Amino acid sequence: MVLIEEIIAREILDSRGNPTIEVDVWLEDGAFGRAAIPSGASKGTREALELRDGDPNRFHGKGVQKAVKNVMDEIGPAVIGQDALDQAKIDRLLLQLDGTENKSMLGANAILGVSLAVARAAADSLEIPLFRYIAGAREPLLPRPMMNVLNGGEHADNNVDIQEFMLVPIGPDTVRDAIRACS
């Protein structure tokens, strides 16, 4: 058992110059985890809610100070003192704190930031890479490569409504052969 000792959140800018949330977590043994949560340009109707401030005078309404405040005032006090090595319990607690289907109370960006920062801190505490921590006792498997062949949606400069057309190779036994099949 390794207890969560401190949580800090802040507003930072992402690679497109838009505000996003970054969360730092420290554990009682000195381990540390940090997570900066990206946001996509397009939003699906079934996606969890990324909490934005809506103030047109700050970053055209895209600020995340509300999400930062939720981490500092609501999520942090509930998570501090919890066992960082029990990720499932941490995630259940975060979902319970929010209590909504689409994470609209605290914001999916705040919830994900804390969850990922805790996972990274736990991996740091165990001195293993994050992927090994997440895999647990299972042997990690590489996913199938997916090759993007045509872009549309918000990211593209065309009228295609579908965001991405992708190739997913079925059948090759190695990553090398899968990449070769898509080329």
The sheet with strand 4-13 has its strands ordered as: 4-13, 19-27, 32-36
- Of 2.170.190.11, 3.30.160.70, 3.40.50.620, 3.30.390.10, the CATH number of 4-135 is 3.30.390.10
28-76 per-position pLDDT tens digit: 999 999 999 987 666 677 788 899 999 999 999 999 999 999 999 999 9
Q: Which of 3-12, 74-83, 152-161 has the lowest mean pLDDT?
A: 152-161
**For the chain, what are the domain ranges?**
4-135, 147-182
**pLDDT for the residue 41:** 62
Q: What angle do helix axes 108-126 and 87-98 make, rounded to 10 degrees?
A: 160
106-142 per-position pLDDT tens digit: 999 999 999 999 999 999 999 999 999 999 888 877 7
Confidence of residue 164 (pLDDT cuts 50, 70, 90): confident
